[in-house]
Amino acid sequence: MALSSASEHLRSALRARILKRIDELRLGPKEAAMAMGFDRQQMWRFAAGEDVYSFDRLIEAAVGLGLEVRVKAVRPWGAS
């Protein structure tokens, strides 16, 4: 399934923030997986950088770690 670069960028940015939060909380893989609602295999794939999770699923994982996710959509400057 081909995904847009904008979608890939959003997922990548959120994944990076989730990894930073795991580090901030000093969680091991097992603890992080539990907080994020992942099983062992899902956590391994996430930590390995595989881009297999939807933006919605990443938001759920972020919320499980205590993050608040905000998305703002704006029209480009000069667009009517």
Question: Which domains, and CATH codes, for the chain?
Answer: 5-64 (1.10.260)
pLDDT greater than 80 at residue 1 = no
CB 46 within 8 A of CB 53: yes
Model pTM score: 0.84
- The predicted pLDDT at position 5 comes to 78
Which phi-psi region, left, alpha or beta, contains residue 66 (left: φ > 0; alpha: ψ -120 to 50)? left
Mean pLDDT value of segment 53-67: 96
Give me 21's structure tokens: 């939060």
Give me 23's structure tokens: 């580090």
pLDDT 10s digits, 9-41: 899 999 999 999 999 999 999 999 999 999 999
Angstrom CA distances, 11 to 3, 6, 18, 72, stand at 11, 9, 10, 15
Exposure on the CB side of residue 59, measured as CA atoms within 13 A: 8
pLDDT greater than 70 at residue 59 = yes
